[in-house]
Amino acid sequence: MVKALSILFSIMMLGGALGHIVAPEFYAGLIPEPIPEALANGFAVLIEGTIGIGLLIPRHRARAGLAFAVLMIGFMPLHIWDALKAAPMVGSHTAAAIRLVVQVLLIAGGVAIFRARQQDTP
């Protein structure tokens, strides 16, 4: 289960990193005004790419799982902000609410990856 979650989350992270390179304008609606878009996209590529690769390497999987959970926690205020806007980026308030629930599940998945490794060590 942990390996499958790691692969799924890795695909998400690497796909997200690639998306920030290929179509940075897609993420513009989630980047708050005071933050330069190029800086936010570059930072996202670095962080998401590193976590995505780390999830695929067994030696680094636990730390990458924890980093994934922390990143998802870090994204939570952006998703809440988007859900509270008059016109959420995802199209509807219902979709934005569903995205918040999914965000909590992603956080739990990252923690599960981290804890699985911690339980294996004496």
Residues 51-110: pLDDT tens digits? 999 999 999 999 999 999 999 999 898 888 888 888 887 788 888 889 999 999 999 999
Count of the separate structural domains present in the chain: 1
Quote the domain boundaries for residue 83: 2-120
The backbone torsions φ and ψ at residue 45, rounded to the nearest 5 degrees and listed phi first, read -60, -45
Q: Which of 43, 32, 10, 12 has its CA nearest to residue 77?
A: 32
pTM here is: 0.85
User: How many residues in total does the chain contain?
Assistant: 122
